[in-house]
Structure 1
Amino acid sequence: MAIKKSIIRRYLILSLLASAIPVVWVGLLYDRFSESAFQTVLEEKLSAQLTATASRLSSFIEARRYQAETLANFPGINQLVDTRQGLASQQVSALLQVESDLPDLFGILFFSADEALQKVIPGQAASGPPYWSDAAFHTTGLPRTLVGDMELVGPAAPRDGESGWLLLRHPLGEAQPGRGPAGHVALHVRLASLTELMGGATAEGTLEPLLKTPTGYFNSVGHAARPAGKLVLGPEIFPGWQVALQVDTSRLEAPFNRMRRALFIAVMVGAILIVLLFYRMSVNLRQRVRQLLDGAQAISTGRLEYRIADPGQDEIATVSRAFDAMATSLEAQLAQMVRMEKLAVLGEFATTIAHEVRNPLAAVKTSVQALARREKDARRLQLLDDMENEIDRLARVVSQLLEFGRPRPPAPDAVPVREVFRRVIQLLAPEATARGVALSAQGDSDLVLHADPDHVVQILLNLALNSIQACDEGGAVVLRALRLTSMAELDVSDTGHGIPAATLPRVTDPFYSTKAKGMGLGLSISRQLTEMNGGRLEIRSTPGSGTSVRIYFPIYENNDG
């Protein structure tokens, strides 16, 4: 018999998982914590590098801020945005020429109070608008960040062959009472002068510095960049301005990946060894389980004398001994059931004989006594006396048969339906299996009957056995329990051939059977015992659909306390 869901196979798989999972778990923990340690060390190193880079950029901006502040507060600088004051002095012009002559500046720009560009001082790196081009120069749409009393405008990304830039604007002089500043002076700073302070990418290409700004990311040469891979952010220079490092994790994690592969190979080798070991164990276990299967098949075919006799001391041997004990008990119980059915046959036979013989014997005895009273001949009188003695002896034999034929009076007690169903299914499971019939129980198994326990078991055994024998292979027999108002209903139903309507009224008669080998006592005994226990038996059947036998018993009422 093939085993579709082998417990041995499941045991092998579970054992394999129980052995392999810890190894995998250790590998995962190693991978996790080693990577975490690597990331911690890397982030500490990168954090120091980012802090130093941020400090350089802050120093650059601070130097330009101080330069813008110095220009804004220089005497006479307001003349450059106030046309009413005339041309700027030679001293102011000389200062602007010196301050603009720096490689980091495109030039110096002056804006009026309404932010209109008033004056342009080209520097050493001046190119394009607003210096040597007629194209408009504007700051519309560029983000603005306040840094103290200075405003940082931009950055503007490189485009159309022009370099990127940003403005550091500072209000000119002190604000007039009730009015804002007269204008602004702005340093037109090369964006590349700021970004090149971050340094270039490493030779291996694992680290590349980036500058995060309100308008996007820029690399070390001042070009717009799109981050790819892992990005480590440094301290913030200004609101929205932050240095970052783009990290190529694939190259950094290459040693760890090699370690992972080695660990995976170790796990696979260990798993293969475990499979081989447990396979040998499962083969041995399967052989011993096969002995149990052979025993179950033997019992199902009626060979109740079959014994497994496993000499071992483990769990399988314990199950084998329990199986042998079950077979012994089952053999004894079935033998007892057969003996009880035979006794019932004899009892019904004795009862029938008693009813047929007892009354005629009484009439014969009365006639003999009447003849004896009128008989004068001593020899005939003696003969009549001997006849009367023989009639009395035969009457005593009939009385003994009647006592034998009357079943034992019930001894009512609490009868749990759950236990009764369990015993019936246990006793009849081999018969049901041999015939290919499914035997099951359902319903309210917490019911407790008030009846003779042995009588209830005998009734259900008779009914369930009849149902099993009435089913073809693939049929089903169901025991059901239902609680009514004051009675309990036990129903034994099957999917057998059913009973014809003309035969149904006679099926509980003694010695009447619809089976070729039946004696016709099962239903009659069941009905008799049911009625003796204060219940009743009803049979409902449809030819071709099956039969349902319902018995009703009083429910046990516990009046203690």
Structure 2
Amino acid sequence: MSSRYLWVSLLAALVPLLSFAALYDSYFSELVSRLTDERLATRTAATKNEFQVYLNERRYELAALVDQFDTPGIFTEGGSDQLSPTLRDLLILQAEQKALYGVAFFDADQNLVWTFPDGALTRERYDRMKATPAIDFEGAQLIGPEPPSWDRPPVLLMKQSVALNGGTVNQNGTGDRDHTPAIGLIVRFNSLAAIAGSLQVDGVIRPRLSLPDGRTYDTVGQLVSSPETLVGSYPLLPGWYLELEQTRALVEPSSARMRYVLILLVTGTASFLLIIHLVISRRLKRQMDALIESVEHVANGDLETPVAQSSSREVKALAESIERMRHQLKQVIRSTLEVDRQASLGKLAAGLAHDIRNPLTTMLTTLQALIKREPNASHREMLAMLEDEVQRVNEVIGNLLNFARPREPQAEPILVPQLLDSLTALVTASARRQNVTLTVNCPANLTVHADAGQLRQILMNLVLNALQALPHGGQVWLDAEAIDQTVRLSVRDNGPGIPEHQRQRVIEPFFTTKSTGTGLGLAICHTLAVKNGGRLTIESTPGQGATVSIRFPIGEGMELEA
């Protein structure tokens, strides 16, 4: 940390000084070259030429439109509805240019009738533009720009008359402007004003555009006050002038201000070093305090709160190590508690099952005898219902015993396709009643070593759970595949899925979301899968179904054939 602080301090001290020296030298070298009369005159001539080229391009575009639009109906209210697809495409192409806002159409009395696109220019804005002096340019009229406004940029109108149905025009193509329809390009004035930006010399020269209405604009088309100190004024059009303003930067010698700049630079460098020291110290203290607080949480038994992370590389590595320790400690404690809990539940379940099963057996035997001797049919039906309920209780007790004292598996080769086919045969009728489609995806000759009865019990429980998740129909897939020297058996459905907060608890004994469930189904599946050397996993996306998989690795007593 101290080494990094040293390097940052040195860079903070040297970089500003070296940068200032380099910038000082390059700035004044460039300044001397820029201020020569020859370069300034050359750039001014180039700017004037670019200005003329820009207006000539717009003039050629306007002339092309005048040649195409010669139908009288176009220059009336609603004239846009009389456009042919070709003319409309031409207007779209013209309006998409960066230099234009759109195209305007005027009737024989020079009234604005419509624009393309709509709203590119309003009659009110056009009336204000007509109040500014208009000039002739190559057979067209330049009107504007309109008086500046805060809510919209200024525009310049380039307008030319159109001869209709054999009408006459004078030699420059304008005809009788007061009694002839016209087309105008709505030009972005700021794109025209930006041409003078090449003459900008930061802190020394600022170009301006002076127009016949007495207003002056900068290179972004904003209205500015007239310059007081001019180094040149160059005519562009009648009444249009390119003016170059000299700022006070050249009036005051730079050497007179250099001493103050150096003093400020040294003071700023020292202040910068002090600030860096304070920031690094406070940041390191804040990170260490957060890390110490996290360690104290772990020491006090709080294993759920994550260790605070840091952006510093060294502190981050330490925090990650402590976070790994917290996870491992949490897993060890959770595993120990799980083992103790399973053992306690097993003993309790075994005792309860033993104490309850004996009287249940007596009750079941008595009921079966009473059913055989009862002559009344309605009484026999009631006794049969009671027998079914006792049988259901006996199945619950059986599940408790399977969970408490599952028998040791007797591994044998199991042909997986046959096992899955037999399962689907047992549940096909129930699936059909629920409008559920069963699909089996399994390679031929896929074999795994496990206890056949326990594996069948696991898969049957999983299939029944999937059917219960689809009361209104759906699909259930039974998949089997060989992956990375393991066999994976999966039961998946397209039901509502399992919420995230329940996914970690569904294999806990006696946890259930069903009103009639015991919460032992998945717990028994998990126990039997572990007994057979497998691992049960659950994947689910709410609203997209759930997938329960059992993966059997290849090891002692196991074999994979495909």
TM-score (norm 1): 0.34
Give the TM-score, by structure 2 length.
0.34
